[in-house]
Each structure stands twice: as C-alpha cells, then as structure tokens.
Structure 1
Amino acid sequence: MADIAALTSLIEPEAKKLGLDLVRVAMFGGKSDPTLQVMAERPDTRQLTLEDCAELSRALSDVLDEADPIEEAYRLEVSSPGIDRPLTRAQDFDDFKGFDARVKVATPIDKRKQFEGRLVGLAGQDVVIADPKLGEIAIPFAGIASAKLLLTDDLIKATAPLSSEGADSIQTEG
C-alpha cells in the first residue's frame, strides 16, 4: 500500500498553493480497488466548493502522475470533510469544542477504546471530552486512532452553507 506520509508531502503543497488546508489523506480499499481520499477546506470558511474540489483534483492528478507514488491503479477522490467531519489535527479539537464527537483510541484507557461526548478542547497534549457517563476524560492526542464529529442539530446549524442562493430554483426530474 502507499506511504501516506510521502503522499501527504506531495499533496499538501498543492493544496496550500490553492489557499486550502489539508484535513486528511487516506487510502481505502484493497489492491483490486484502491481509492486515494484527499479532504481539504478553505481555512476561513472550513468549507470547500465544487470549483475548489475540481481545481485541487486537477492539480493533484498532474503531480501524482509525474511522481507516480502509488504502484497500482487507483481512484482519486477529492472532497470536503463534510459536516460530521473527521478530527485529524490537534487544533480541530479546540476549533470544534462544544460539539459532540466520537473518539477511538489505539490503546485502551480504563479498559475502553471508544469515547463519546462533548468536546471540551485541548489541555496541553491531551484532548478533553465530557462523557455523559464518565465525566471529563483526558485522552492523549498521540493515542487517538480516529475521531469525528457526531451529527447533531447544533452541528447542522453551526455549519450551514455560506450561501443557499438559488436553492429554491433548483429543479429536479420527475
């Protein structure tokens, strides 16, 4: 499988050139159908337009074709992180404090590998989450295997699109 750190070092400069922050680079699927997933966002809006996706996809296609860092054929998927986004950077846990999240750890903490609750934020190198049953839990950022926001009404309200202009005039077939 591909080296994610090497891929990130190729991808991140291209995202930065377009004024985007890289959220995640990941490979999914097996040898028969691998997908390189690239999530990015505008730092000022935390969103990504369709035009941003297309522009980044074209730039990455050129760079990846030239460097050829993935041996097998693969699919390139460029997207925004979405509403129930993955939390991949330490700063994400502060930026989204007050929202509900699910955090999975690589090594159990008090015999648990998964925690859900409201993000309190960062405390040094720890992510603090308020679990309704356990209270506040400090989780070392380095020990987090995966984390994501949970879809709630509060999150939906807070991440409403920048513009819904034209939404009423969209026509569908049938």
Structure 2
Amino acid sequence: HAQTLLAMTHVSKQILMGNQDFLPIKHAGYGKFMILSLGTGTAKIEEKFDAAECGKWGLLGWLYKRGATPIIDSFSEASTDLVDIQASVLFQVLGCNKSYLRIQHDELTGEMASVDVSTSKNLNGLISVGKALLKRQVCKVNVETGKNEPDLERGTNEQELARFARMLSEERKARKEAYKLV
C-alpha cells in the first residue's frame, strides 16, 4: 500500500517539474490521478486483544500470542490503514473521490488468510473469494473510524473496475491524438 503514496509522490514531482509525459490530457486538476489499489486480502478483522490484556504483556507476548504476532500485525495494518485514510481524505478534499478505488477483502479466515498455502483447494477458494468480491458494493474508508464502509454513491467493484478501464482507455486515446499533433 505504500506504493500508492510513492506513485502519487512521483507523479506529483514530475508534474511540478513540467514533465509533459505526466500532464493530463483528458482529465483536469487532481482528477488526473486515478488510483486503483488492489489488496491481497487480510485475515478477518477480529478484536482479539484488549488494552488491559496487552498492558500486561512482556516482550514475548507482543512477538507471539495465541497464534498471532501482535506487534508485526499492528505495524502492518497501521501502515496500510494510514495510506488508505490519507489517499481517501486527499481525494475527498479535492472532490475526485471516484478516482480512488481500493479493493480489499478483509475477512479471510484459516488457510486462505495465509500467504504460503498454495494448495489447489486454497487457490480455488481464493478465486471464489475474488469473484464474490467483484459483486460487492465498493467501500470507502470512514475517516473518523478508519473502518471500511459501503460507498452508496458507487456501484459494485466490478462496475467501478469497468468505469476505470473506460477512463484509462479515453486518456490513452486522447494522448495518442495529442502526440500525433505535436
């Protein structure tokens, strides 16, 4: 997810430097940014621990507790959440929130939540999850709570992916035309 911020920074820098390859042709303003962020899925969000319990842990408790790695999970999820919140807020403030699409399944369980189980059964299960995810309502991050909620102003992930594809195609055609004239 940090790649999202790196890409936005790189493009912004190129625009500031006047690099013509990065200037938009079809879309104006910050609408030139179109971000499609595809997650690889995360384990089901569960409130496994509470503050009172965590306050009693020593070093080993933070490294490994009940089959989890709390400190690593916390840093990883915090980084992802912060980028999602930053991108969401930026796009909302600039009035182009439909140019940011994050698709992430955050309810994986068991072996499907593991990054190193490549059995046919598990891979087929992930394919099913992906197909079902396409049919889900697009979500956006609630900047107050940090949780994903359905974005009732948009359609399904599948519909939004099709819209993104059309926008990219239009931009490519406009660039091809503009560069023919130069």
Which structure carries more relative contact order (alpha carbon 8 Å, separation 6+)?
A: 2
TM-score (norm 1): 0.24
More helix by share: 2
Work out which of the two has the higher radius of gyration on C-alpha atoms and give 1 or 2: 2
TM-score (norm 2): 0.23
More strand by share: 1
